[in-house]
Structure formats: C-alpha cells, structure tokens
Chains A and B, each alone.
Chain A
Amino acid sequence: MTGGAGDGPLAVIGAGVMGAGITALALGHGVPVRLLDVDPDKLAAAPGDIRAHLRQAQLMGVLPPGVAPGELTTAASLEGVEGATAVIEAVTEHLKTKVELHCAIADAAAPGTLRITNTSSIPVAELAEVVPRPQDLVGVHFMNPPSLIKTIEVIRGPQTGDAALAAVRALAQRLGRRPIVVADGPGFVTSLLLHRMINAAADIVEQGRATVADVDALLEGCLGHPTGPLRTADLIGIDNLVDSLRVLHERTGDAGCSPSPLLLRKVAEGDYGRKTGRGFYEYAAR
C-alpha cells in the first residue's frame, strides 16, 4: 500500500525556490522534513530561505494555530529517504535530471512510499515510463509561495495507483491544502494557461506596445489577476519559466510557448526575478 505511515517525515529533494517553500509549508504544519540538494550553497542557504517563508506565513496569518513547527534536517544525498512517508521532488525542470533522480528515489524508498514530482510542465507519463513502480508516482503542483496558495494541482499519471492518489489526499489534508485532480499532459491545466499568458505578456513589452507596469496593472485592474503576469514571472523565476516554456513548446508545437526573446535576454543577463533581486522589477534583499 502506498504511504502507510501517514504521520512520518517528508523528504523534499531540491532546495531551490519550491523546495524551500514546500519545506516551510510542511514545517509550519508540524511535519518534519529531510531536505536534500546536490548544491552545497543551496543547502546552506535553505534554512534562511525557509525561515523567511515561515515568517511570511506567520505575517499573513496562515499558520495553523498551536502547532509546534516540524524539525528540519538537511542532507547532500538520498541517504535517509527510506524513512520518509512521502518523497517530493522539486529539482530543476529538466527531463533527464528528473528521470535519473526518480530512478534513484525509487531504489532508495520502500515500495508503497508515495513519490511526488513537483514538475510544472513535464507529463508524469514521461517519468512513469522509465521509473520503477510507477503506481507510486503522482504529480503534485505546489505553487509559489506554497504556504500562501491553498490549492494544489494534482496530476494523475496513466499508471498512478488508487493508493497513491489516496495518499496524496491524506498529505494535502495534513498540509491544509485543497487538491484538484486533473489528467496528465504537457503543463497540465495551470502551466499550459499561465506560462503561455506570461510569454505573451513579455512579447507585448518586447514589441513596445505597453510597459511592464501597465501590462500588470491592466491584468490586475481589469481582469482581477492578483499579481499581474510579469510580477508572477519574477516570482516563479524567469530561468524556470523559460525551461518550462521549452518543455511545453517541444511537446505541443505551439508557437505561443516558444520563449519570448525578452525572457531569454533576462535569463542570459542573470535577471531571474525575485531570487536574484531583479527580473521585470527590482527587489530589496530579504
């Protein structure tokens, strides 16, 4: 059975934007986390990033009251993963990286352990085709910042088992999230719609038809988008956005998903958004 011990620790793999955010969400709900990354600098920065996420959650009043925070441990390898209730992969959006990692996770984790990919755009089926025990693998698309976004997009791959899906629902409840289950496919529902829109917004700016601030102000003011597409790009990380657009473009052939030259320039210049202090906007250091 998938995910037997419902109250055990989580293993989160990848300590970047999402790995840190998901870890903070879990810790804030009293769930212990073992966080792994291959990059020692990322691992060293993670506790500070996680603390900032937790402070933000506290500020916004979204932490469950009276819950003692879960304990954080960090590691540079998959050692310790075997004890986890669920393993959440949140590494760079590259198919090859994810395939290799998911094979290693499947070897390290006990059969029946829920295995999650937080991919934005890669179909779960592409991982399931090659990894052992694909019935334990599910896509769970947490969004940034995970503590502030209550809904999660759950992607059922063609081989995902009922037990794994039930384990995802139990995990969602433990983390106070509302799961919405959708079928597999490039970009699922949210990235296919959102990434294409952000790309179009970047093209509009590139063509000189509106400023960055005006595009966001129109989407916010007229259409009720909470942050505007370009501020959202900064929040996602423009490097990750471009990786995801490439994944979408390769699989759908949709020209609207071919990364805008403006996005490519920002990546080349190292202006990834919030995480580097500058993207479409400037950010003060945390």
Chain B
Amino acid sequence: MPESASERLSAAGIEHRLHEFLVERTKTEWEPGQDLFASGVVSSLFAMELVVFVEKAFDVVVEREDLAMDNFRTISAMTDLVLRLRKAADA
C-alpha cells in the first residue's frame, strides 16, 4: 500500500534507515558522504541488493538512467535519489 505523504520519512529519516541497513549488512560504520564502493567493503554485487532495498524500503522504482552507481555511491546520494523519485511520482 502506498504510504501517504505525511507518513513518509524525512531526509534525515531516510539517511538513518539507510545507515542502519548498511551497518547491519556490512558490519562497518558509514559516514553520509563516504564512498561505499571505494573501500572494497561493498562489492558491486551488493550494490544490486542496495537498489532492491531502496525500492522496497522507500516505495520507489529505480529505472533507466537513475539505475547508476553514482546514485548509490553514498548514503547522501541515495537519500537525494529517494527524495527526487518521490517528488517526480507526486508531480
């Protein structure tokens, strides 16, 4: 069921949820602007898991040109993506 606009997480809430997921899955601490892929901790295969998580957790669909590593490179980039996709869906 699509969540109503008021139930949606704020940017800070999205960041928090992403951080929680990453720490749980990678057993590593992450800063919002830290490059997940530069470290080698997060493999390119895990990147796909990240895409699926983002879609499910925030009820968005990531397609075509949005499906790019740069959108998933940092917690901040993913947060921006979610906010942008929601805005586009509302428009």
Interface residues of A (CB under 8 A from B): 52, 55-56, 58-61, 145, 148, 220, 226-227, 231, 235, 283-286
CB neighbours (8 Å) of B64 from chain A are 58
Helix, strand, loop or mixed for chain B's interface?
A: helix
Q: Check A220 against B48 for contact (C-beta < 8 Å).
A: no
Do A235 and B40 contact each other (CB < 8 Å), given the known contacts A55-B51, A59-B69, A61-B68?
Answer: no
A-B contact count, CB below 8 Å?
A: 39
The 8 Å CB contact of A59, one of B25, B43, B53, B67, is B67
**Residues of chain A within 8 A of B48, CB atoms compared:** 52, 55-56, 59, 286
**Which residues does chain B contribute within 8 Å of A58, judged by CB atoms?**
64, 67-68
Q: Digit string of B34-64 for contact with A (CB within 8 Å is 1, else 0)?
A: 0000001001110111011100000000001
Minimum distance in angstroms from A45 CB to a CB of chain B: 16
Candidate in B48, B64, B72 with the most chain A CB atoms within 10 angstroms: B48
Instruction: Kindly list 19 other residue pairs between chains A and B, CB separation below 8 angstroms, not including A59-B72, A148-B44.
Output: A52-B48, A55-B67, A56-B45, A58-B64, A58-B67, A59-B48, A59-B51, A59-B67, A59-B68, A61-B69, A145-B45, A226-B43, A227-B43, A235-B45, A284-B52, A284-B53, A285-B52, A286-B48, A286-B52
18 contacts between A and B (CB under 8 A): A52-B48, A55-B51, A56-B45, A58-B67, A59-B69, A59-B72, A60-B69, A61-B69, A145-B45, A227-B43, A227-B45, A231-B43, A235-B45, A283-B49, A284-B25, A285-B52, A286-B48, A286-B52
**Chain A contacts for B51, CB-based, 8 A:** 55, 59
- Bound together, the chains give a CA A16 to CA B53 distance in angstroms of 24
Q: Is the interface of A mostly helix, strand, loop or mixed?
A: loop
CA distance A138 to B60 in the complex (A): 44
- Distance of A59 Cα from B25 Cα, bound (Å): 20
Chain B residues closer than 8 Å to A231, beta-carbon distance: 43
Q: How far is the CA of A65 from the CA of B51 in the complex (A)?
A: 21
